[in-house]
Amino acid sequence: MNVRWKQILHLLLTSEKSLTSQELAAELHVSSKTIRNDIKNLQPLLSDYGLEIVSVRGKGYALTDNDQKKMAVFLQHHMEQDIPVEPEDRVHFLMETLLLQTDYIKIDEIMEKIYVSRSTLQNDLRQVRKILADYQLTLKQKPNYGIKVEGDEMQIRFCIAEWLFQQSISLLRHDMDLPILNKKDLNMISNTILSNLRQSKIIISDINLHNLITHLAISIRRLRENNTIQTEIDDASLQDTMEYQVAQKILREIEEDLFITFPYNEVAYLTIHLMGTKLLSPEDSTTETHQVIDAEILRLSEQIIKRIDQQYEFHLQEDEELKLALALHLKPAMNRYQYQMNMRNPMLDEIKMNYPLSFEAAVAGSEVLIEEKSIKINEDEIAYLALHIEVAQERRKQLLSNKKRCLIVCASGMGSAHLLKYKLKNMLSEDLVIVGTTEMHNLKYHSLDYIDLIITTIPIPWDTEKPVIQVSTILGKTDLSKIKDLLSKGKDMTDHYLYESFTYLQQDFKHPDSILHFMCNEIYKAGFSNDNYLDSVLKRENYAPTSFGNLVAIPHPLDPENTHTFWSVMTLVKPIKWGNKPVQLIFLLSIQKGKQKEIKSMFEELGDLLEDKDLIQRLIACTTFKQFKHTLQQWKGL
Which pLDDT score, from 0 to 100, does residue 288 have?
Answer: 45
Query: Rounded to whole angstroms, how far apart are CA atoms 444 and 440?
Result: 8
Higher model confidence: residue 398 or residue 142? 142
Which pLDDT score, from 0 to 100, does residue 365 have?
Answer: 95
Mean pLDDT of 392-419: 71
Candidate from 33-42, 147-156, 326-335, 485-494 with smallest mean pLDDT = 485-494
Candidate from 308-322, 328-342, 613-627 with smallest mean pLDDT = 328-342
Q: Is the pLDDT of residue 63 over 90?
A: no
Q: Is the pLDDT of residue 397 over 90?
A: no
Mean pLDDT of 306-329: 85
Higher model confidence: residue 505 or residue 337? 505
Name the pLDDT band for 276 (thresholds 50, 70, 90): low
Q: What burial letters (b/e) apply to 153-190, b meaning 16+ CB within 10 Å?
A: bbbbbbbbbbbbbeebeebeeeebebebbeeebbebbb
Which pLDDT score, from 0 to 100, does residue 167 have?
Answer: 52
Percentage of residues of the chain with pLDDT beyond 70: 85
Query: Rounded to whole angstroms, how far apart are CA atoms 451 and 457?
Result: 17
Q: What burial letters (b/e) apply to 342-356, b meaning 16+ CB within 10 Å?
A: bbbbbbbeebbbbbb
Q: Is the pLDDT of residue 533 over 70?
A: yes
Which pLDDT score, from 0 to 100, does residue 589 have?
Answer: 92
Q: How many CB atoms lie within 10 A of CB 196?
A: 20
Q: Is the pLDDT of residue 343 over 70?
A: no
Query: Rounded to whole angstroms, how far apart are CA atoms 445 and 464?
Result: 11
Q: Is the pLDDT of residue 289 over 50?
A: no
pTM of the model: 0.55
Highest mean pLDDT out of 81-90, 161-170, 344-353, 596-605: 344-353
Which pLDDT score, from 0 to 100, does residue 578 have?
Answer: 94
Candidate from 85-94, 449-458, 483-492, 541-550 with smallest mean pLDDT = 483-492
Q: Is the pLDDT of residue 169 over 60?
A: no
Percentage of residues of the chain with pLDDT beyond 90: 24
Q: Is the pLDDT of residue 514 over 90?
A: yes
The torsion angles phi and psi of 154, rounded to 5 degrees, stand at -65, -40
On the 0-12 / 13-18 / 19+ scale of CB atoms within 10 A, 70 is middle
Q: What burial letters (b/e) apply to 453-480, b meaning 16+ CB within 10 Å?
A: bbbbbeeeeeebeebbeebebebeeebe
Instruction: Quick: pLDDT tens for 12-27.
Output: 877 778 889 888 888 8
148: β partners: 140
Name the pLDDT band for 52 (thresholds 50, 70, 90): confident
Domains of the chain: 3-78 (1.10.10.10), 87-151 (1.10.10.10), 159-275 (1.10.1790), 286-400 (1.10.1790.10), 404-487 (3.40.50.2300), 493-636 (3.40.930.10)
CB-based contacts of 320: which residues, under 8 Å, 6+ apart? 286
572: β partners: 507
Mean pLDDT (the chain) is 82
Q: Is the pLDDT of residue 411 over 80?
A: no
Q: Which of 324, 334, 193, 171 is nearest to 252 (CA)?
A: 193
Q: Is the pLDDT of residue 505 over 90?
A: yes
Name the pLDDT band for 437 (thresholds 50, 70, 90): confident
CB-based contacts of 184: which residues, under 8 Å, 6+ apart? none
Candidate from 63-77, 135-149, 344-358, 533-547 with smallest mean pLDDT = 63-77
Query: Rounded to whole angstroms, how far apart are CA atoms 376 and 167?
Result: 26
Higher model confidence: residue 505 or residue 62? 505
Q: Is the pLDDT of residue 485 over 90?
A: no
Q: How many CB atoms lie within 10 A of CB 27?
A: 14
Contact 588, 567 (CB under 8 A): yes
Q: What angle do CA 308, 314, 317 make, to 5 degrees?
A: 70
Candidate from 31-35, 51-55, 91-95, 159-163 with smallest mean pLDDT = 159-163
Name the pLDDT band for 415 (thresholds 50, 70, 90): low
Higher model confidence: residue 169 or residue 40? 40
Q: What burial letters (b/e) apply to 590-629, b meaning 16+ CB within 10 Å?
A: bbeeeebbbbbbbbebbbebbeeeebbebbbebeebeebb
Q: Is the pLDDT of residue 283 over 50?
A: no
Instruction: Quick: pLDDT tens for 174-205.
Output: 445 567 788 888 889 989 998 898 888 776 66
Which pLDDT score, from 0 to 100, does residue 273 have?
Answer: 75
Instruction: Give the 3-state secondary structure of residue 62.
Output: strand
Contact 438, 446 (CB under 8 A): yes
Mean pLDDT of 376-403: 81
Mean pLDDT of 390-403: 72
Name the pLDDT band for 284 (thresholds 50, 70, 90): very low
Higher model confidence: residue 632 or residue 78? 632
Mean pLDDT of 306-310: 92
Mean pLDDT of 58-68: 74
